Amino acid sequence: MANSIDLDGIDALLAELRTRAESAVAKVEKEALQAAGEVLAADMVERAVRSKINRKYHIEDNIAVSKVKKKDGVKFVTIGPNRKVSWRAHFTEFGTSNQRAEPFIYPAFNSKKIEALQVLADKLREGLQQS
């Protein structure tokens, strides 16, 4: 009777399992961050004031959630006006000497941050249950 079992290729198998697990985790993280970002983006769109000027690009039509980014090991998304309108969005948010402030970014964040965190947690929980 043998007291040991020889398993050839176990290191390769473990490496493949780690790779697949990391890939699945990355996918769940991406989906959760995007979903949470969409909650905030939707509220920003509702709060953004549409210009009376006939513009090709209005701020409310160009609020987006970025792809997942990573800085210093932390994954995140940016939410707000895209490059087409971002140069003038701060005029609306903070006002100018000739225009009163009509903030839409901070109020949206302030009112929806708990909901966004809940969506993030729910999506992560769903991803764990599927694994």
Position 70 scores a pLDDT of: 93
Splitting the chain (131 residues) into consecutive groups of 10 residues, what average pLDDT does each group show? 61 74 86 96 93 84 94 94 91 93 95 95 87 61
- DSSP symbols for 16-85: HHHHHHHHHHHHHHHHHHHHHHHHHHHHHHHHSPPPSS--SS-GGGGEEEPPPEEETTEEE--EEE-TTT
| Residues listed for the chain | 131
pLDDT in tens, 100-114: 999 999 999 999 999
Write down the pTM of the prediction.
Answer: 0.80
Position 31 scores a pLDDT of: 94
Domain boundaries, the chain: 10-130
